[in-house]
Amino acid sequence: MKYDFNANPRVNSTLNMVVETISSLAEEQLKHIQQLTKIGQSLSSETDLNKIFDMILDEGVAFTKADGATIYRVNEDATALEFEIVYNGAMKMRQGGSHGAVNWKPVPLYDKDGQPDLSYIVTAVYHKKQGLCFDDVYQAEGYDISGTLSFDKSSNYRCEAMLTIPLKDHEDTVLGVIQFINPLDKNGEVTVFTEEHRAMLSSLASQAAIALSNRKLIESLENLLMEFMRSIATAIERKSKYSSNHITRVALLTDMIAEKINETKEGPYCEIKYSENELKEISMSGWMHDVGKIITPEFVMDKSTKLERIMDGVDLVKERISHIKTLFKYLKLSLKHEDYLAFTKEHICEDCADAIAYLDEASRFVQELNIGGEFVTDETLAKMQALATISFEYEGTNYLILDELDKKNLSIRRGTLNSDELTIMRAHVAITWEMLSQLSFPKKYKNVAFYAATHHEALNGTGYPRGLNAGELPLPSRIIAVADIFEALTSADRPYKTPKPLSDSLKIMAFMTKQGHLDPDLIDFFLDSGLYLEFAKQHMDTSQIDTVDIPYLKSLYRLD
């Protein structure tokens, strides 16, 4: 667009040229500002480090038309610069970022005496926290450019202009170094880096450093969160002198199942692909599944026998039986035989020929019943209840074998916990939900509380604490349930049961699946993938690992 500034054509033309030039420069500057703003927005929203590095390189190259670029990142202990991305347009080479690892040797930041190494351009930029720019790097006096010379010679390349800038965060900490080489003009010829290039790339480097710093902070907080969870789990495990590694083993098995599902390419889970964040969410849930046990009393967690209180109550029963035996031995000597038999029939049993032998058998019976098992028959309970009726008084002293609490505890059909203790133990799941649901987990880990607190729910709705059904239980909840049950069944450190062979543990799980407690597809996957055996070889005693008949197990719950 032409303007009429002056009647003199020559003056008017000159003024129009000035306006056009200024407008062009203004438009170019606006374009740069818009581009820089766009870069900043992109970097601030991105959390994947590889994508951040890709973005830094792509935007820097696009702005400067640089033929090559390298991004270095300071390693964890700040002793070296590691290659993150190496790019060269003329050689059609790109490594690092989203294009695979760069297997180049890191550049040490310190010499053999531990002093800052200032001999290389990149290390000098790191230590001095200032950028360096050369129109021809071959003329860079005072710096060791042997690496550049060697690369150029082997690649038949010529590195000329070089701009190296530190990536500094808001605390002036150098997180990495970015280096551009050989900016190209409109004709594709190598030119030099301008002040505009330097200003723009310095701004880009600053924003990139902030993005890296934010990502590093996020990673640190996530690591702290996971470490905190593991420390809580360790503290809970140390409460119990028996199942000291239960939470750890369940968490490991949960991870194994989730990762194996991610790898499968067939079956009902072939389309399930958990993201890295989803895998972390499931892992956190595995570590936290028993956090509610932090309030479970130790006498319940560690109850190794049915009669255990402060001490094992079976010792009291044995003492009572011993007193009765002493009394009967005395009566046998002091009473007539017919009177002794009458006393025996009235107070012990109608048909026992030898009261002492009967009492010895009763002692053995109670000791066996005191040990927790998987199932107690009606006949066994009837025998125990008969012993509980033995109670009599002789010369002012009361004699009995079992009191009401003993009777209640010995009536336990499975394990060692009575109904009251079982209620206390089961409360840990509700407490798990109560504790975790109050925490402000990051949005990507929002399901941790739910997954962790539903591992005792059942697909048929008979689980606890909320009685959820299959439609309300996502796959991660089902995974943790399988891991929890399998670990509990195969564990050798539980005081209330003898270690089971692998085949027996899986048979119990098959019956639980048949009854609607566990997911049949997940149990199929657990068996077919070999995960059960992989875990067993890592965490079970070799004497427990026997032959498993998978078709037979499936026939127990796959009735079609």
Query: 431 and 379 in one domain?
Result: no
Quick check: is 21 in a domain? Answer: no
* pLDDT over 70 at 5, yes or no: no
* pLDDT over 60 at 474, yes or no: yes
Query: 174 and 151 in one domain?
Result: yes
306 confidence band (pLDDT: 50, 70, 90): confident
Query: 448 and 520 in one domain?
Result: yes
Query: 191 and 336 in one domain?
Result: no
Quick one: pLDDT at residue 2?
66
pLDDT of 148-162, one tens digit each? Answer: 898 889 889 999 999
Nearest alpha carbon to residue 518 among 533, 505, 537: 505
Query: 152 and 54 in one domain?
Result: yes
296 confidence band (pLDDT: 50, 70, 90): confident
Quick one: pLDDT at residue 295?
83
Query: 149 and 180 in one domain?
Result: yes
Quick one: pLDDT at residue 45?
63
User: Sign (positive/negative) of CA torsion 25, 28, 32, 37?
Assistant: positive
Distance CA 285, CA 449 (A): 7
Quick check: is 233 in a domain? Answer: no
Task: Specify which of 8-22, 343-357, 404-418, 451-465 reaches the highest per-range mean pLDDT.
Answer: 451-465
Nearest alpha carbon to residue 303 among 437, 412, 429, 399: 412
Distance CA 44, CA 212 (A): 9
The answer to whether residues 390 and 348 touch, using CB atoms and an 8 Å cutoff, is yes
The answer to whether residues 528 and 550 touch, using CB atoms and an 8 Å cutoff, is yes
Query: 202 and 66 in one domain?
Result: yes
Q: Which residue segment(s) compose the domain that 383 sits in?
A: 314-416
What does pLDDT average to over the chain?
A: 86
Q: Where are the alpha helices (DSSP H) in 103-145?
A: 121-128
Nearest alpha carbon to residue 527 among 497, 558, 499, 500: 558
The answer to whether residues 64 and 56 touch, using CB atoms and an 8 Å cutoff, is no
Which amino acid belongs to residue 541?
A: D
Quick one: pLDDT at residue 351?
73
Q: What is the CATH number of the domain that holds 94?
A: 3.30.450.40
pLDDT of 370-421, one tens digit each? Answer: 887 777 889 999 999 999 999 999 888 999 999 999 999 898 888 878 888 8
pLDDT of 258-274, one tens digit each? Answer: 999 999 999 999 999 99
Got the DSSP string for 535-558?
Answer: HHHHHS-GGG-----HHHHHHHH-
Q: Interhelix angle for 9-45 vs 195-239, to 10°?
A: 10
CA distances (Å), origin 402, targets 62, 366, 407, 418, 529: 87, 9, 6, 16, 50
Q: Which of 227-231, 270-274, 352-356, 541-545 has the lowest mean pLDDT?
A: 352-356
In sequence order, which residues have a C-beta less than 8 Å from that of residue 481 and are 6 or more positions away? 454, 455, 456, 457, 518
Q: Answer with the one of 388, 416, 444 that is the final residue of a domain.
A: 416
39 confidence band (pLDDT: 50, 70, 90): low
Query: 87 and 213 in one domain?
Result: yes
Which amino acid belongs to residue 304?
A: S
* pLDDT over 70 at 8, yes or no: no
Query: 178 and 102 in one domain?
Result: yes
Quick one: pLDDT at residue 310?
66
Quick check: is 136 in a domain? Answer: yes
30 confidence band (pLDDT: 50, 70, 90): low
514 confidence band (pLDDT: 50, 70, 90): very high
Got the DSSP string for 140-178?
Answer: -TTS--HHHHHHHHHHT-----EEEEEEE-TTS-EEEEE
47 confidence band (pLDDT: 50, 70, 90): low
Distance CA 185, CA 182 (A): 10
Query: 58 and 186 in one domain?
Result: yes
Distance CA 260, CA 383 (A): 49
Tell how far CA 432 is from the center of its chain.
17
The answer to whether residues 181 and 66 touch, using CB atoms and an 8 Å cutoff, is yes
Distance CA 528, CA 522 (A): 10
- Of all residues in the chain, what percent carry a pLDDT higher than 70? 89
Greater pLDDT, 32 or 398: 398
pLDDT of 63-94, one tens digit each? Answer: 889 999 999 989 989 999 999 899 999 989 99
Greater pLDDT, 98 or 19: 98
Take residue 85 and report the two structure tokens written for it.
């991305």
Quick one: pLDDT at residue 509?
94
349 confidence band (pLDDT: 50, 70, 90): confident
β-bridge pairing 107-108 and 80-88: antiparallel
pTM: 0.67
Quick one: pLDDT at residue 1?
59
Q: Answer with the one of 396, 416, 436 that is the final residue of a domain.
A: 416
Quick check: is 222 in a domain? Answer: no
In sequence order, which residues have a C-beta less than 8 Å from that of residue 347 and are 6 or more positions away? 390, 392, 399
Nearest alpha carbon to residue 409 among 306, 301, 300, 303: 306
Q: How many domains does the chain have?
A: 3
Query: 198 and 80 in one domain?
Result: yes
Quick one: pLDDT at residue 284?
94
Query: 94 and 189 in one domain?
Result: yes
Q: What is the CATH number of the domain that holds 267?
A: 1.10.3210.10
Quick one: pLDDT at residue 69?
93
* pLDDT over 90 at 493, yes or no: no
